Amino acid sequence: MPRVEPGTPRAAASRTGVSARNTELGGLTMFTYLKSQVAAAAVVAALLPAPALPQVRALPDFTDLVEMQGASVVNISTISERRAGAGPQAPGLGENDPFYEFFRRFIPQPPSPGQGQPPRDLESRSLGSGFVISSDGYVLTNAHVVNNADEIRVKLNDKREFKARVIGADTRTDLALLKIEAGGLQAVRFGDPSKLKVGEWVLAIGSPFGFDNTVTAGIVSAKGRSLPQENFVPFIQTDVAINPGNSGGPLFNMRGEVVGINSQIYSRTGGFMGLSFAIPIDVAMSVQSQLRVSGRVQRGRIGVVIQEVSRELAESFGLGKPAGALVNAVEKGGPAEKAGVRVGDIITRFDGKVVESSSDLPRMVGGTMPGSRASMELWRSGGTRSITVEVGELPEDRVATSRVPGRGSAPAQAANRLGLVVSDLSAQQRRELKLEGGVVIDDVRQNVRADLRRGDVILAVSSRGQTTELRSAEQFNKLLSQLDRDTTITLQIRRGESNLFVTVRGEAPRG
């Protein structure tokens, strides 16, 4: 029998009880084992649910919307005759200027008169957009599109053209209602602007620079936007490309419903810069319903001048948060004065609706029918009061002239702690301004922490909910000396014919 030496493979195999054959095939056996394990794991993985992946949303497809609603959008062109040499002429633009072609086509330069030829009347042409709101030929657009037009023509999507007449126009909302003699037209469907969400996709169809049926899209950037001199419209702000010629065209949501009327852009060049503003369709339909009946729009008024309540003003009047509309003037004999409204009141509710911002109040009051009665909630002297006002009717726009109060008596040599030199009003100044009290600012020194000017009349001081009417410069300066330097105060100011409130922030505590 052969001898097995220690340390040989056969000796190791004998000691472990594993045959040499198995040892020689060990690598293959392990490979088979691992392969079976991998196959089993794959089967288990296939039976388990797949891990959740981030949802990828495709970009919206506007083709169906355009196909269904494009026929309700119209092109509006106007012609205005003016005498040669009168009115604005096209600016001197180079051929490379982006607006050269627009002015060349729609605002032609007057011909050079020949020898003995009299000057001829010129035609000024402009373009805009609109949309059909009823099948019997009513069209809605912007008032500035048809303003001062001698002839208005509406071109439909199928190339038919009609002469249009103006049923009525409202400059305060920049809306106009037109009528063409046509029937069986496709009208738009109306949506609810209150359901629009910031970030939602919207689409515009119009005629920028005369290019009919141009489609642009974007998102809602903001809602309820207030613009200067636009008190009655809570604009929808979008980044939809809007250019000259788009005015009056519809703004659609993704359901094919009109939610706004493209009206304005913010631009430093005259072209699109990513800021477009549309009139909410509910505002527009309310206006057009009155235009259709009477050709004009009736709006309510209560006879107050208001301003925004800042954080500092809220602190001075003891109001918990900056909200409402601060009354800085009350029309003598007007609805508000008859109801008991005073200068310095903060209107927090009107007709049951919360006044979050001062821009809310003109819309609420303007939307109330003249002659109706409305409840108002006021914040006065640190507490809430409820009154009822009979709403009047807003007249046509009036422009007020301004006058600067005359100089008072000789100013004091030293400024008070606000950096102001003040003096008492003279008897003549009181008569001219129809004031019983107040002090006039004779000089504004350095370090004044507010918009105060020479000639302003300070009528009252408010701090921590308490208001003190001023009778003399001595009283004013003494009152200031009694307040802590870190106290924020509000001054009621008469500037020209306007009243306003100016907040003076307290000094930061020294550390």
Q: What are φ and ψ of residue 125, in 5° steps? A: -110, 145
The C-alpha atoms of residue 299 and residue 463 are separated, in whole angstroms, by 36
Is residue 194 among the annotated active site residues? no
Residue whose tokens read 């008190």: 231
Check: CB of residue 456 under 8 Å from CB of residue 392.
no
Is residue 386 among the annotated active site residues? no
CA dihedral (426, 431, 436, 441) positive or negative: negative
Residue of 77, 124, 126, 144 marked active site: 144
CB burial of residue 204 (10 Å; 0-12, 13-18, 19+): buried
Check: CB of residue 347 under 8 Å from CB of residue 359.
no
The C-alpha atoms of residue 342 and residue 332 are separated, in whole angstroms, by 11
Under DSSP, is residue 251 helix (H, G, I), strand (E, B) or coil?
A: strand
Residue of 170, 174, 424, 456 marked active site: 174
Is residue 150 among the annotated active site residues? no
- In sequence order, the 6+-apart residues with CB closer than 8 A to the CB of 506 are 484, 485, 486, 487, 488, 489
Classify 246 in phi/psi space as left (phi over 0), alpha (psi -120 to 50) or beta: alpha
Distance from the Cα of residue 148 to its chain's centroid:
27
Q: Which amino acid is at 506?
A: G
Q: Which two tokens stand for residue 111?
A: 């011909």
The C-alpha atoms of residue 148 and residue 145 are separated, in whole angstroms, by 9
Q: Any idea of the CA torsion for 16, 19, 25, 31, to the nearest 10 degrees? A: -40
Check: CB of residue 89 under 8 Å from CB of residue 110.
yes
Residue whose tokens read 């109706």: 372
Q: What residues does 177 pair with on adjacent strands?
A: 140, 168
The C-alpha atoms of residue 205 and residue 213 are separated, in whole angstroms, by 6
Q: Which of 99, 166, 88 is nearest to 130 (CA)?
A: 166
Taking 3-state DSSP, the helix, strand and coil percentages for the chain, each rounded to the nearest 5, stand at: 20, 35, 45
Distance from the Cα of residue 468 to its chain's centroid:
36
Distance from the Cα of residue 7 to its chain's centroid:
93
The C-alpha atoms of residue 421 and residue 271 are separated, in whole angstroms, by 48
The C-alpha atoms of residue 498 and residue 328 are separated, in whole angstroms, by 8
Residue of 124, 129, 247, 263 marked active site: 247
Residues tagged active-site: 144, 174, 247
